[in-house]
Amino acid sequence: MNAPLRFHPRTSDTSYAELVQGAVVDPSLYTDPKIFEVEMDKIFYKTWVWVAHESELRNPGDFKTAQIGRQPVIVVRDRNGKVNVLENRCRHRGATVCEKHKGNATGFTCPYHSWSYGLDGKLRGLPYPEGYEDVIEKADLPLQSLRVGIYGGMIFASFNADIEPLEDFLGNARHWIDLFMKQGAGFPIKTQGEHKFSFKGNWKIQLENTTDGYHFPVVHKTFLQSVDAETSEMLSFMTDDQSITRSLGNGHSVMVMVPEHVDLDADDGSEQLQERFSHISAELSKDMPPEQVRRIVRSLHGAGFNLNLFPNVAMSMSFFRVLHPVSVTETQIRHIALGMDGGPEIANRERMRIHEHFQGPFGFGSPDDAEAWERVQTGAYAGRNVPILVNRGLNREWQDDNGDKVSHSTDETGMREAYAMWKKMMEQ
């Protein structure tokens, strides 16, 4: 390894971007409240941030509330079917106009003085308007709208009016989003519930984890012991050289754990379906052709990869992982379960049972992740001038023709991609 880098003492001339130096990172990125504040402005309020999936907003009036950084927003489908993302803040004195997680509404009314807004954010009415004659124009005071971009059903929003088109931002990740959605096995993807949990640690600790294949057999030993041999074998990618991590630009990356499930449409017939799903195969076979049964059962574990989209969402095998930075030392995470919209109930229920097994605060996997991450947060306060290492696999990383950097799935290529984007955005 190179000589240790010196991040300290920091001076007023030290830029935040200097705290990421190639494959080593200063631990103050996890602990410094000032850095967190700058991240809100330079990252979360500047780029595309995931807020919803289209299946959560099927009908006009359907809404959900979300957070972008510290700012509360409402994601709502209006009468014309358009998805709007609105600041959840009355234009009068700033109260939130909606406190529900989700629902259906004809509009939003502030509880404080009853200013009421349409699904498109327009200010429709306010009581006792004579006090405002020649003072305000209602047309000037809608709920503020964010830029909205949708790709593959994934809804992103941005406070940055000048942001590049979503498709450009996603770039090489779009191909992997398309592959991910194939787990619908011919049906559209829908969300079917979510686990929310929080841990006492910085958001980037979770961001790193999505393409961290190195931790899996260590942290998730008891999960692997609790599943059938076939699932355990499916997830034994540590020495599989087909199991790779790939940087995709703009901070995005993908880690392939199950190479044969990258493209679920590709099936050479050699894969034995898992015995644990035989009752599902039997039930589906009553009214489906064998190829469709096989297609659905092969997709029950989701796609064979974790796609990490900078800065806040991952499409992770069979679920979406959404992170929400609460403070420099606290992060909330949602694990959103997915199913086949209009697909067979027995298979969608099995997908929920698989989700419960690993995910969430009571799962066999997530609590151990959270424990490791809290240890990172605690440990990061020790060690000024002792950098966080994300250099695993530098010795075997190579560059693909399209510019993606590629290495083994246990390597830290994805983390380096995320920190390169962090550095770029923090420099601007």
Partner 1 sequence: MNNTDSLQGFSEPLAKAIAFIWQEAELLDKKDYARWSALWSEDGHYVVPIDPDATDFAAQLNYAYDDARMRKLRIERLTSGFAMSAADASATVRTVSRFVPVHLSADLVEVNSAQILVGYKRQAHTMFVANLTHRIRFGAEGPKLEQKVVRLINSTDALNALGFLL
Smallest distance, Å, CB 175 to partner 1? 29
What whole-number distance in Å separates Cα of residue 321 and Cα of residue 339? 15
Q: How far is the CB of 1 from partner 1 (least distance, A)?
A: 27
* CB closer to partner 1 out of 10 and 196: 196
Give whichever of 168 and 345 is closer to partner 1, judged by the CB atom. Answer: 345
Q: Amino acid identity, residue 147?
A: R
Which is nearest to 30 in space by CA: 425, 331, 404, 414?
A: 331
Helical spans, DSSP H, in 74-214:
166-170, 173-181, 203-209
Q: Show the tokens assigned to 62.
A: 């359907």
The two three-digit tokens of residue 114, written as one number: 């009853």
Closest approach of Cβ 74 to partner 1, in Å?
17
DSSP assignment string, 272-340: PPPGGGHHHHHHHTTTS-HHHHHHHHHTTT--SEEEEETTTEEEETTEEEEEEEEETTEEEEEEEEEEE
Q: What is the rounded CA–CA span in Å between residue 99 and residue 5?
A: 47
Between 122 and 215, name the residue whose CB sits nearer to partner 1. Answer: 215
Q: How far is the CB of 237 from partner 1 (least distance, A)?
A: 20
* Residue number, 223 or 422, with CB nearest to partner 1: 223
CB of 226 to partner 1, least distance (A): 4
How far apart are CB 80 and partner 1 at their closest, in Å? 30
Minimum distance between the CB of residue 102 and partner 1, rounded to whole angstroms? Answer: 10
Those residues whose C-beta lies under 8 Å from the C-beta of residue 318, and which sit 6 or more positions away, are 183, 300, 301, 302, 303, 337, 338, 351, 354, 355
- Smallest distance, partner 1 to C-beta of residue 358, A: 11
304 vs 365, which CB is nearer to partner 1?
A: 365
Q: Which is nearer to partner 1, 36 or 197 (CB)?
A: 197
**Least distance in angstroms from the C-beta of 194 to partner 1:** 7
Rounded CA-CA distance 281/391 in Å is 44
Contacts 24+ apart (CB under 8 A), 59-63: 59/104, 60/119, 61/104, 61/105, 61/106, 61/119, 62/102, 62/103, 62/104, 63/98, 63/100, 63/102, 63/103, 63/104, 63/105, 63/119
Q: Copy the structure tokens of residue 37.
A: 């504040």
Nearest to 40 by CA among 410, 310, 328: 328
b/e per residue, 134-151, with b = 16+ CB within 10 A? Answer: eeeeeeebbbeebbbbeb
Nearer to partner 1, 144 or 232 (CB): 232
- Residue closer to partner 1 by CB (options 246, 355) is 355
Please report, as ranges, the residues that interact with partner 1 according to CB under 8 A: 101, 192-199, 219, 221-223, 225-226, 332-334, 337, 345, 349, 352-353, 355-357, 360-362, 364, 366-372, 374, 378
Distance CA 84, CA 63 (A): 9
Pick between residue 136 and residue 372 the one whose CB is nearest to partner 1.
372
